[in-house]
Structure 1
């Protein structure tokens, strides 16, 4: 199983099927959900019947794929970092290009936690031989696009991203390490 080293303030573990409560609580803030679905809170049924099965579909602990729960100073979880092959659900899956994503509680916004957590995940995956990472965001989601820049990613292209639960025009940012 891929291991992500704890930093001075952050710790990591893969989300499991038992993390419904954590995922539900995070998705109850309309500001957190603004760029995901327009600010709609996720229902418990959606977590159980849609979100968790999707997460379990791409989770692979050996490769480090899944949602990495992030805790600050080992307290309650504050968010997660997503790792999965780019295009996993869209029909254009690319296992050599890992998509990174993040969702964090508003209480920790502006503290550099998303960037620090994503960098830690990237470092572990780099040590495991992965050299290309991408992320997607709505053009208006400047906070996420700023995180992408801090991860060394640069704008690649715009595309219509479509899968069973998401259909939006997104900006794609990518970085390749040699």
Structure 2
């Protein structure tokens, strides 16, 4: 699957060769505030944990994976948008409900890039009517990510204790159905 450019941004599906880009993004404690309590990722964690997890759900034909987001005019890498089945790393993944997530450099915050990218990728994937919904979760205090969820048309469903092999926290769960 290919994601065409949006008005300001370009997209490329990331792979195991993008470890350095993933590492760079995770070096800002404010970027990592709601992911790891501000702890930055080591190169070992990127290589030994993050890359294998990404490759586990990456499916180029379906558009699942991490989509690198760059500014069209400068080709500056500003972050990524995640696409994978909701609850992928559980015993009950929802293959008809795609989880969207995002992580962007602080320098790009407040400019609408995350909303533009997430909405554009969601709308591209929404042409596949096998997907009944698109969902996102964020730490309850992560008002920036919750704002992106609202900006792309998602509605609040619930707050619950999310347990993943990498973290555990109370999250707000938002969703939009695919018509």
Bin of the TM-score, shorter chain as denominator length = over 0.9
SS class of match (1:21): helix
Give unmatched runs, 5+ long, in structure 2. none
Once the 2 structures are TM-superposed, how far is the Cα of residue 123 of structure 1 from its aligned partner? Answer: 1.1
Equivalent residue number for residue 176 of structure 2: 175
Measured after TM superposition, the shift of residue 67 of structure 1 is 0.2
List gaps (5 residues or longer) in structure 1.
none
Give the TM-score normalised by structure 1. Answer: 0.96
Report 1:46-57 matches (<5 A): 46-57=45-56
Give the RMSD, CA atoms, in angstroms: 1.0
Q: Following the alignment from structure 1 to structure 2, what is the Cα–Cα distance between the partners of residues 91 and 27?
A: 28
User: When the two structures are aligned, how many residues end up with a matched partner?
Assistant: 177
Instruction: Summarize deviations over 1:21-51 as a string: whole Å, max 9, x none.
Output: 0000000000000010100000000000000
Give CA deviations for 1:123-178 in whole Å, capped at 9, x if unaligned: 11012333410000011001110110011101111111112111111110010021
Displacement over 6 Å in runs of 4+: none
Provide the TM-score with structure 2 as the length reference. 0.96
Deviation of 1:59 (Å): 0.3
Q: Distance in 1 between matches of 2:70 and 2:52?
A: 23
Q: Write the distance in 1 (CA, Å) between the matches of 2:148 and 2:172.
A: 13
